[in-house]
Amino acid sequence: MGRYTRRFDEIGSEDLALVGGKNASLGELYRRLREAGVRVPDGFAITAEAYRAMLDAAGAWAPLREALEGLDVDDVADLAARGKRARQLIFDAGLPEELVAEIKAGYRALREEYGEDVRLAVRSSATSEDLPTASFAGQHETYLNVRGDDALLEACRRCFASLFLDRAIHYRVDQGFDHLSVALSIGVMKLVRSDIGSSGVMFSLDTESGFRDVVLLNGSYGLGENVVQGTVDPDEFMVHKPTYLAGSRAVLRRKLGTKALRMELVDDDPSRTTRNVDTPPGDRDRFCLRDDEVLELAGYACAIEAHYEMPMDMEWAKDGTDGLLYLVQARPATSVPTTTVLQRFVLDETGEVVVEGRAVGTKAVSGVARRIGGVDELSMFRPGEVLVAATTTPDWEPVMKTASGIVTDHGGRTCHAAIVARELGIPAVVGTGRATTRIETGEEVTVSCGEGDTGRVYRGRIPFHVEETAADNLPRPITKIMVNLGNPELAFTTALLPNDGVGLARREFLIGESIKAHPMALAHPELVRDPATREELARLTAGYPDGSAFFVERLSEGIGTIAAAFWPKPVVVRMSDFKTNEYATLLGGADFEPDEDNPMIGFRGASRYAHPAYRDGFALECKAMLRVREEMGLKNVVLMIPFVRRVEEAERVLQVMAESGLERDKDGLEVYAMCEIPNNVVLVDRFAQLFDGFSIGSNDLTQLTLGVDRDSEVVAFDYDERDEGVKELIRLAVEGCRRNHIHSGICGQAPSDYPDMAAFLVEIGIDSMSLNADSLVSTTWAVLDLERRLGRGAADSDANALLRELTHPGG
Residues annotated as catalytic are 416, 747
Amino acid identity of 571? V
Distance CA 156, CA 145 (A): 13
Residue type, 477: P
Residue type, 572: V
3-state secondary structure of 482: strand
Nearest CA-CA partner of 20 in 147, 173, 210, 177: 177
Please list, in sequence order, all residues whose beta carbon lies within 8 angstroms of the beta carbon of residue 333, skipping any fewer than 6 positions away. Answer: 203, 204, 205, 207, 310, 311, 312, 313
Stretch (H or E) spanning 607: helix 606-609
CB 521 within 8 A of CB 592: yes
How far apart CA 526 and CA 519 sit, in angstroms, is: 13
Q: CA-CA distance, 16 to 19, in Å (whole number)?
A: 6
What's the angle, vertex CA 676, arms to CA 674 and CA 682, rounded to 5? 105
The helix/strand count (H/E) of the chain reads as 31, 30
- C-beta of residue 581 within 8 angstroms of C-beta of residue 600: no
Contact (Cβ atoms closer than 8 angstroms) between residue 483 and residue 772: yes
User: What is the DSSP secondary structure assignment for residue 602, as one 8-state letter?
Assistant: S
Kindly provide the residue ranges of all beta strands, DSSP E only, lying in 286-385, ordered along the sequence: 312-318, 325-332, 341-347, 353-360, 364-371
Cα gap 355→369, rounded to integer Å? 13
Distance CA 71, CA 533 (A): 64
654-683: string of b/e by CB count within 10 Å (b at 16+)? bebbeebbbeeeeeebbbbbbbbbbebbee
Contact 799, 474 (CB under 8 A): no
